[in-house]
Amino acid sequence: MTEFFAQGGFGFFVWGAYGMVALVLLVEILQLRAQRRTILARLGRLSRMRDFGARE
C-alpha cells in the first residue's frame, strides 16, 4: 500500500497531477448542481409571485 502511494518516489508528481484533475472535476460537478438548485429556486419564487399577483 505504502509502495503504491510512493509510486517509486514520484508520488508528489503522480498524485499532484491526479489530485488536481480530481479536485477540478469535482468542483465543476458541485458548481453545476448548485447552479441548477439556484435557478429552480428562483423560478419557483417567480411562479409563486405570479400566482399571488393573479389572485389580487
The 4-43 site mask, x for binding other proteins (CB under 8 A), equals x--xxxx--xx-xxx-xx--xx--xx--x--xx--xx--x
The distance of closest approach from Cβ of residue 2 to other proteins in the complex, given in angstroms and rounded to an integer, is: 14
| CA distances (Å), origin 34, targets 9, 42, 44, 49 | 39, 12, 15, 23
* Of residues 7, 2, 32, the one with CA closest to residue 19: 7
Question: Total residues at the site for other proteins (CB under 8 A)?
Answer: 27
Assign 3-state DSSP to the chain and report helix, strand, coil percentages, each to 5. 95, 0, 5
Positions that interact with other proteins (CB under 8 A): 4, 7-10, 13-14, 16-18, 20-21, 24-25, 28-29, 32, 35-36, 39-40, 43-44, 46-47, 50-51
